[in-house]
Chains A and B, each alone.
Chain A
Amino acid sequence: MRFINRHPERGGRLLLALLPFVLLLLVYVIASATRLAENPDDRLLPSVGQMADAVRQMAFTEDERTGEYLMWSDTAASLKRLAAGLGVAALAGLCLGIAAGSFPILGAAFSPLLAVVSMIPPLAVLPILFIVFGLDELSKVMLIVIGVTPLLARDLEQRAREMPQEVLVKAQTLGANSWTIVLRVILPQLLSRLLVSLRLLMGAAWLFLISAEAISATAGLGYRIFLVRRYMAMDVILPYVLWITLLAWLTDYALRRLNRWWFPWSEGARA
């Protein structure tokens, strides 16, 4: 049988999925053990035990100075910023996308602007963001909004354009005006696409969040990573990276379930 036609069995699939993870873990454990055998104080590749100690310290021990559990207060601060940023970006992106995608006149005005603005790397204009939005929470949320909105708007605009002409004509013969068409025909279809778009842009949103926290902050997952990098505490950084990965994966999973639950038709199931 040709390789291209071979499919993994059920058990085999799980094994193949786990294999790269096990391999990575093995590489890490061996490398860490080698370095620690040479220099027991090495900080570059801490052992699993050292990382567990760091997690115990960060997540389950009260900080002496603030009385907070640092890892949880960092997580809360970061998630709040991420949620606010993505929420605003989703709303703005949806409005802009629908406006530019459904109404040719608005599209003529907005499309080129969105195309240009979405190409500006937000991190390159950080000093301007500081001066306009200050250094507090607002600037961190705005970095996410500015980074994600144009991409979201362009994607939704494209989807609105792809709306079958027959559907729009049908709605109009049934007496719908522009407003009704947007509300009853275009919006429901685009909402599902919005969730898919958000999933794809989640990585970018995290990137902007962590960059913003690295520049000026008093709490947050990115803040902590850049702070302890000052003395190369990889035993804190690596668990934080794993935690961020887990959070990002969970949000991705939640958005996928939400999409399937709210818009069962979007993945081909019957409503």
Chain B
Amino acid sequence: MNLRRIILALSLGLASLLSTTAHAGTRQSFSICWTIYAGWMPWEYAQVQGIIDKWAGKYGIRIKAVQLNDYIESINQYTAGQFDGCTMTNMDALTIPAAGGVDSTALIPGSYSNGNDGIVLKGQGKSLKDIKGQNVHLVQFSVSHYLLARGLETVGLRERDIKVVNTSDADIGGAFATSEVQAAVAWNPQLSTIAAMPGAAKVFDSSKIPGEILDLLVVNTATLKDNPGLGKALTGAWFEVMALMKAKNAEALAQMAKASGTTLEGYQAQLATTAMLYEPAEALRLATSPQLPDAMKRVAKFSFDKGLLGAGARSADAIGVAFPDGVVNGNAQNIKLRFDDTYLRLAADGKL
């Protein structure tokens, strides 16, 4: 009877559908994903205005920038191999693709949070110390959680002094409006909403830890290596939009504001707490700064303490993180996240 063979062939066929991963090699067409956030809206503008097409054409390739609605899902899709690149924070780049064994390169450090993430308490004249013993609502294991851990350190508290309640970012605004929620950690635009509620005060924010929460464009290392045109085109398109933003181009800013569901004033308020790295030289300075390895070390320690590096990780150094000039954090035999300055340097030298 052939049934056994048929079953085997059928399962192999179905299995191959499930097991597709991004394949390296020279290719013509690429796709990257991005999600709505003040510092990533330039991708929307670059896609709609044909700036990405223009730069991709220059290097003889095609690039599609796809907006996804769910941030974590977008990173998961990238990690599963559905996209060649994706926007994410440095912490999520370490804990999702890198810890999932997908060698990833931080191509463009676009901005860092400079007040875009904050801790908010209710009550008059409160300071961060008053958080002790409270239920703190936040998205667990996110940059909010990291910010909280960093904030608690500064006032000599530990996480066991409080209790974290996992609350979805979409609902944190509604949650904070109820009387039983007294403390929350959030990012913008929700942060500005809850901090503006009567009787609420922002007691700590990311401007106190500048350069630790980075918003990156991450691409698959193998794909980038085989297709340097991808890195050049993306970097070129990005800094073309950056120049428009730095010049306060009203039309560009208005379109980004609209696409992120806010007004021009609202968007500019969000940009005020986002340290955009408008010039290639600024981005290059951040990527090569000696503070970056220190920041990543803290992020790796936090991620390991929370079990985010996976069951196989024996220490915070399990995953190697490489920086320009050959500096490596952690296991040099297992480098899965790379901060690369090749393309930033080309952009800074005007060679794109």
Contact = CB atoms under 8 A, between A and B. Distances in A.
A233 B336 CA distance: 18
Contacts of B312: 41
Nearest to A39: B101
Contacts of A35: 18-19, 21
A151 to B, nearest CB: 25
A31 B7 CA distance: 15
A250 interface: no
B140 interface: yes
B15 A31 contact: yes
Interface in B61-92: 72, 76, 79-80
Given A30-B11, A54-B311, A231-B95, A135 B180 contact: yes
Contacts of A65: 160
Given A42-B101, A135-B181, A229 B72 contact: yes
B101 A230 contact: no
Interface of A: 23, 26-28, 30-32, 34-35, 38-45, 50, 53-54, 57, 65, 126-127, 130-131, 134-136, 214-218, 223, 226-227, 229-233, 235
Given A23-B10, A127-B174, A223 B99 contact: no
A226 B166 contact: yes
A239 B39 CA distance: 37
**Chain B interface mostly helix, strand, loop or mixed?**
mixed
A136 B180 contact: yes
Contact of A44 (B8, B80, B168, B180): B80
A34 B16 contact: yes
Contacts of A216: 137, 165-168, 171, 175
A231 B99 contact: yes
A231 B308 contact: yes
A126 B311 contact: no
B2 interface: no
Interface string B110-130: 000000000000000000000
Closest 6 CB pairs of A and B: A41-B101, A31-B18, A30-B15, A31-B15, A34-B19, A127-B174
Contacts of B17: 31
Contacts of B214: none
A20 to B, nearest CB: 11
A31 B101 CA distance: 17
B234 interface: no
Given A42-B21, A217-B166, A231-B141, 20 more contacts: A26-B8, A27-B11, A28-B18, A35-B18, A38-B19, A41-B99, A41-B100, A50-B311, A53-B311, A65-B160, A126-B174, A130-B175, A134-B179, A135-B165, A215-B167, A218-B165, A223-B166, A227-B141, A231-B95, A231-B99
7 contacts: A31-B19, A42-B21, A126-B171, A135-B178, A215-B168, A218-B164, A232-B76
A32 B19 CA distance: 7
Nearest to A30: B15
B177 A131 contact: yes
A230 B72 contact: yes
Nearest to B170: A215
A39 B11 contact: no
Interface in B134-171: 137, 139-142, 160, 163-168, 171
Contacts of B163: 218
A227 B166 contact: yes
A27 B14 contact: yes
Contacts of A218: 163-166
A107 B282 CA distance: 71
A135 B175 contact: yes
B12 interface: yes
A39 B21 contact: yes
B102 interface: yes
B96 interface: yes
A215 B139 CA distance: 9
B206 to A, nearest CB: 19
B310 interface: yes
Nearest to A57: B311
Which of A23, A40, A44, A223 has the most chain B CB atoms inside 10 A of its CB? A44
Nearest to A214: B168
B142 A230 contact: yes
Contacts of A214: 168
B79 A38 contact: no
A77 to B, nearest CB: 13
Contacts of B72: 229-230
A230 B310 contact: no
Contacts of A26: 7-8, 11
B84 to A, nearest CB: 16
Contact of A43 (B19, B166, B180, B310): B310
Given A26-B7, A42-B100, A42-B101, A233 B310 contact: yes
Nearest to A37: B19
Given A215-B168, A216-B167, A39 B14 contact: no
Contacts of B10: 23
A122 B163 CA distance: 29
A19 B310 CA distance: 34
Contacts of B80: 44
B178 A131 contact: yes
B102 A39 contact: yes
